């Protein structure tokens, strides 16, 4: 079976840096940090991290009530990012609603804030009286995908993968496969999440959250650094419009990059602690699908979240495959870990890196850790012609994903 | 509570819940055509009114016959009076 080529024609982002893919990339180029002290977190008994990267100042009044009523913040972020991606790609109304466009968009869970609101009432007297009709639409696992599809009239398939921190990357992979197989001509793909203390607590409980930089928020997280102490949670949404090459050509669309490989593997050695071998295998599978060998990759965008164990395992896997010649960086030092959105936001940055020929270094990497020294870790922006990028994302639960991006050539 | 006060509080409660302009809340306004509300909104309207007036409406079949704002005013007035009696 002949697989179709898949290209990226639109990008959309809502990140802790603000709205827009351009704003995101400029903040990364400028080396900004989106991490702030959050006073509310300090009031939670036993919670170590008091920092996060939150989306600020979104004006959602422009979204009509009938659309907004079923949305928690993560769906709002996803809708704004989706509109940006479709507008950039000049996807007109007929194409949006005609069935050729589908959506693959996931989040880690439904809205925890809304669940909290429900149980706050429910547990008082175990009664559902007073529960409003919109509740379920905000807590269901496919809330973001369904809300965006409903609002934009997307009539193709609605997929809502959920794989925690690998969700965004996996959603792009699913969209890529749907187009390659000829099931859809276009797929809007990505991830979204909204911050809740439960997310930070989840990592804190398993001793994987950053807790030592509460008085210096912009110094954490510190991927690959000697003094890294864990994850910093953030929020947002990243959406990419994927399209068959034939469709993009027929529309005269501006092609930003090509996706030439995707792989996802399971690490069954542990539900929480990553092992280098399945990570390496995942990257090898993605490279094989792209028809590339490791030496042909110009840059590795790491998942690296700033945890002691995760960064070491990933750098060992990358080192095994790519040695010390290929630059490696993580973007979580700038924007924290946006959970389901992280893979998509980082992939957007990778597309921009391909386009501008810049490798963004890891923020807060002051003293590269000895155990991460198997890879090349740039400390400042490298200007170089980028033809190929591989991008990793991993998740609790043992889910690994890798995507290979290429500069587009006929 | 007078009937006028019930009408005023009903209007204020649904205006806030559904982000409606008070000027549009004339007695003859149809919930569907004029105010743009649907069946999901109707479910939430019941909850808003129960909380506003401390009454029990639940799945009262009479609610299904409400078409315009004046129908709702009459319903709430009856309900409130029944509750007081």
Distance separating alpha carbons of residues A151 and A124, to the nearest angstrom: 35
CB contact under 8 A, A65 and B19: yes
Total-model pTM: 0.96
Closest CA to A219 of A45, A348, A379, A31: A31
pLDDT mean over A373-389: 96
Give me the pLDDT at residue A262, please.
Answer: 98
Chain A residues whose CB is inside 8 A of the B35 CB are none
Judged against a pLDDT cut of 80, whether residue B83 lies above it is answered with: no
Task: Tell me how close the Cα of A228 comes to any Cα of chain B, in angstroms.
Answer: 47
Nearest-CA residue of chain A relative to B36?
A: A66
How sure is the predictor about A367, in pLDDT bands with cuts at 50, 70 and 90? very high
Domains of chain B (ranges, CATH numbers): 3-84 (1.10.1200.10)
Mean pLDDT across B15-20: 96
Residue B15 near chain A (CB below 8 Å): no
Mean pLDDT of chain A: 96
The gap from C-alpha B10 to its chain's centroid, in whole angstroms, comes to 5
What's the Cα-to-Cα distance from A60 to each of A12, A57, A149, B45, rounded to whole Å? 17, 9, 18, 23
3-state SS class at A358: strand
Residue B52 sits at the chain A interface (C-beta within 8 Å): no
Using N-to-C axis directions, what is the helix angle for B39-53 and B3-18, rounded to 10°? 130
Residue B85: pLDDT above 80?
A: no
DSSP label at residue A167? H
Closest CA to B80 of B28, B6, B4: B6
Residue A249: active-site member: no
pLDDT tens-digit series, residues A40-69: 999 999 999 999 999 998 888 889 999 999
Give the C-alpha separation, A297 to A291, whole Å.
11
B44 touches chain A (CB under 8 A): yes
In this predicted structure, the answer to whether residue A377 has a pLDDT above a threshold of 80 is yes
Catalytic hit among B21, B24, B38, B44: B38
Q: In terms of Cα–Cα distance, which of A48, A372, A400, A46 is closest to A222?
A: A372
Q: What span, in angstroms and rounded, lies between the C-alpha atoms of A77 and A61? A: 13
Q: Decide if B21 touches A, using CB distance below 8 A.
A: no
Say if residues A4 and A179 touch (Cβ distance below 8 Å): yes
Min distance A240 CA to chain B CA atoms (Å): 32
Query: Is position A303 annotated as part of the catalytic site?
Result: yes
Question: If we measure between CA atoms, which residue out of A286, A297, A255 comes closest to residue A11?
Answer: A255
Chain B's closest residue to A61, CA to CA, is B19
Residue B84 has pLDDT above 70, yes or no: no
Which residues of chain A make contact with B50, given a CB cutoff of 8 A? 129-130
Quick check: A66 and B36 CB within 8 A? yes
Q: What percent of chain B has pLDDT over 70?
A: 96
Tens-digit pLDDT profile for residues A269-282: 999 888 999 999 99
Strand-pair partners of B20: none
Residues A169-227 pLDDT 10s: 999 999 999 999 999 999 999 999 999 999 999 999 999 999 999 999 999 999 999 99
**Residue of A50, A196, A334, A337 marked catalytic:** A337
Instruction: Please answer whether residues B80 and B55 qualify as being in contact, where contact means their C-beta atoms are separated by less than 8 angstroms.
Output: yes
Residue among A293, A317, A310, A299 at smallest CA distance from A391:
A299
Cis? peptide before A114, omega within 30° of 0: no
Instruction: Please give, rounded to a whole number of angstroms, the shortest distance from the CA of B38 to a CA of chain A.
Output: 9
Q: Which helix (H) or strand (E) holds A316?
A: helix A308-322
Q: What is the pLDDT of residue A35?
A: 98
CA-angle at B10, arms to B8 and B15, nearest 5°: 95
Residue A1 reports pLDDT greater than 80: no
pLDDT tens track for A305-360: 999 999 999 999 999 999 999 999 999 999 999 999 999 999 999 999 999 999 99
pLDDT at A118 exceeding the cut of 90: yes
pLDDT in tens, A136-163: 999 999 999 999 999 999 999 999 999 9
């Amino acid at each position: 079976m002949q697989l179709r080529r898949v290209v990226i024609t639109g990008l959309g982002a809502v990140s802790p840096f603000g709205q827009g893919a351009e704003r995101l990339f400029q903040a990364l180029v400028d080396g900004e940090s989106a991490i702030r002290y959050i006073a509310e977190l300090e009031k939670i008994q036993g919670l170590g991290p008091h920092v996060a990267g939150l989306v600020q100042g979104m004006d959602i009044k422009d979204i009509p009530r009938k659309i907004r009523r079923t949305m928690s913040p993560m769906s709002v972020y996803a809708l704004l990012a989706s509109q940006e991606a479709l507008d950039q790609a000049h996807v007109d109304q007929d194409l949006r609603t005609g069935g050729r466009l589908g959506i693959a968009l996931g989040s880690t869970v439904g809205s925890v804030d809304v669940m909290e609101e429900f149980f706050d009432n429910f547990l008082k007297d175990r009664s559902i009286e007073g529960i409003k009709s919109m509740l379920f639409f905000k807590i269901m696992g496919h809330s973001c995908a369904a809300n965006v599809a409903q609002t934009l009239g997307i009539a193709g398939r609605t997929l809502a993968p959920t794989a925690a921190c690998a969700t965004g990357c996996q959603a792009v992979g699913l969209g890529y496969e749907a187009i390659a197989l000829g099931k859809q001509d276009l797929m809007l793909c990505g991830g979204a999440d909204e911050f809740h203390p439960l997310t930070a607590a989840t990592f804190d409980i398993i001793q994987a959250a950053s807790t030592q930089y509460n008085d210096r928020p912009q110094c954490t997280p510190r991927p690959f650094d000697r003094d890294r102490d864990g994850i910093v949670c953030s929020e947002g949404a990243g959406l990419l419009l994927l399209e068959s090459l034939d469709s993009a050509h027929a529309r005269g669309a501006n092609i930003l990059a090509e996706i030439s490989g995707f792989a996802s593997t399971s690490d069954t050695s542990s539900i929480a602690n990553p092992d280098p071998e399945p990570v390496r295998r995942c990257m090898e599978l993605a490279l094989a699908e792209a028809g590339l060998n490791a030496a042909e990759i110009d840059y590795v965008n790491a998942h690296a979240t700033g945890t002691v164990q995760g960064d070491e395992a990933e750098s060992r896997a990358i080192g095994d495959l790519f040695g010390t010649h290929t630059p490696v960086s993580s973007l979580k030092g700038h924007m924290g870990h946006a959970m389901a959105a992280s893979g998509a936001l980082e992939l957007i940055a990778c597309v921009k890196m391909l386009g501008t020929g810049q490798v963004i270094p890891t923020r807060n990497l002051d003293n590269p850790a000895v155990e991460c020294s198997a890879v090349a870790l740039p400390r400042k922006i490298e200007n170089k012609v980028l033809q190929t990028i591989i991008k990793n994302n991993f998740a609790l639960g043992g889910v690994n994903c890798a995507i290979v991006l290429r500069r587009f050539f006929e | 509570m007078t009937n006028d006060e019930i009408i005023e509080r009903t209007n204020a409660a649904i205006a806030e819940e559904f982000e409606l302009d008070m000027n549009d809340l004339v007695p003859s306004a149809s919930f569907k055509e004029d105010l743009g509300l649907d069946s999901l909104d109707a479910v939430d309207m019941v909850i808003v009114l129960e909380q506003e007036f401390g009454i029990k409406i639940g799945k009262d079949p009479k609610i299904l016959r409400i078409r315009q704002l004046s129908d709702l005013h009459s319903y709430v007035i009856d309900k409130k009076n029944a509750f007081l009696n």
